[in-house]
Structure 1
């Protein structure tokens, strides 16, 4: 998926000095009243310098675009980050909202590192970093206004030069502190994407980012891509990743080709998930592309198109058993072997030594077998028997992961339950899906205690 950050900002009511104060007051009002659009417009006209309806719509729309405010069923509400800012007034929360949704702020901080400079020089730095955008002075000026409003930089009136404040240096330092080492990346660990690209290359604003200087392909997933037609998901320990291309049929070029040909090219695939905090990503592990297929999905305009979907398997994910069939493995042994990592190369093959024969299975196969065996044909969600018998002659249930890989939940026998298709869809797509998943976690914990 591509990084869909916009490049332009809009102001908010009041001077630079009053901007965050007015924004906080508005968010407090929204949190208290959940107003419809006319009520919010009236409040802004009474409590700020707002006059024009079109300007109100623009400025309120910008707060929605940076995920501080949302509109649900004709009523405005604040997001979790908006609620945090309304309560604390912490300007770093606004900075994070801007950084996560608008390109260019990190470039400005880096341009001002250890030096004062003019708006024209900052404009030139932004144009070099983002050649695909048109960056007139007005766009750059609004970026600078927001950085002044949050207290990250100040302008020297005598020279018309900008410089970082101590707070701006703090924000910059926080971004530069973490230098990821590719060999030491830990699954579930949180990293700064800007630093990842500065160290190893790759386009920081694209979902698939091959490095020109190192044998790595970084690729990124996150919930925000759903609105543009991207659909990524774990199926067991296999990750189904949607290729790049926002409109029209996807083609096997660019980043898509880099994933497809990574073995032939001698490149490693490293998967990250975007977090709510700007440029923060969670490492999901090293994968390899085992196959790809085409599927009809909607593009960013809502039109149906051919989308490329990659089947990716974790690297070094095999488990060895002496039995040639998982059905013959005792449940206790299946659990112990499935929860441990065995670093081997290959998959689902047999190795014979002078003593015994070992059969390799992927960890996901072993974990799946364990979950289905423990369920014994009964859904762990609703408690009903499997709705039908599968082609293999066994009761049909689906294996669900209670915690995502990014939350510390890779394939592990303690992290899976077997569900009927209806309960499985409920946990992923139901309105009460999160609560239902928590019920499943509680049931599993009680089962472990018993």
Structure 2
């Protein structure tokens, strides 16, 4: 990385420890103060006594420090580890018995000078755009939502001028031909689907070619994003753990998308509004449980710009896992079923009962409810496919009702006969399995109303037939 991007990369490596009370913000605050010294042309190296006097009140007001001036000791020493800070003649300072930091009395006596490395100071003082980028990165990572008086207290408000999001790089809409080009420009991992760029802000990648089944939810712009892990049951580790942290902290991440045969584009900022689990096929072709992260696009990482429906969804989110894999268990992995002695009728009845249980709890009217209705009871969809016996349920189908995919699966689309928006019900008796051609006729055909009426009768009749015993 060049042109100051190595500075952003070092800022990205700044990771205060996670504690029960949250992340201590001492180091980010000291770094913001140091950047302000460069922006305003103050002396690069300041004595310990000045740093303590200036930064102590900031720690008290914005980092919940009980004794701000004494607590300055920790960032004053620790910020050196990521090469963003230098303490003159530090080797001469006596350390505590653990050797982690100098004694407070030793600092008071020696009063060493400290500040940004000279090369960083010179860059920041000469390039205010880079300074704004650095400040915005720290604000987004550690101070969102931003305390109202933080930027004023640091004398950095004019630098970002209320445009924190636009000072960041990359900006939404930037296209790149491949992942290597993104990494060359902004750092980060070249392969993983959930990984931060060099600035430390989490980024997710979605490729229409696969291997994950990511999708935009119909009739809304929210995204069902598949979790991290190619084969086997996904676990709450690696990228999934980072997603859970962003969900808990209600922080925005970057969403990159690559359409089939297209370019990678930073499409939007997004926030995690729900975590679900479903059955899916791993790269090894076997069924596995996978996470689905529901992402709501937002205009910027600044909470004050987020639409009301996103705020509502975040307030509604309980942070818990919504497990859609419980009711529907693929036969090939369900060791509790005697598959050879379980008839299609019995399995259909079990799935229909599960769908009704799920539908009974979905009476809310909100974006999250809309998401749940689309992702709807997997039991209902599974039941309809089972009932279809692998063929289009439109008796007048003139397409290819028995056509199969390369994976020997039926080419069927499960649809609500009256439309989900009208019924709001995810139960098999109001749903039907159609080939793509019949689905189009039912939705957009000139005679669609007549066909919908016929399909309503067929769906209920076939449902009754499968629900009968014997």
> Between Structure 1 and Structure 2, which shows a larger proportion of strand residues?
1
TM-score (norm 2): 0.31
Q: Which has the larger radius of gyration?
A: 2
TM-score (structure 1 length as normaliser):
0.32
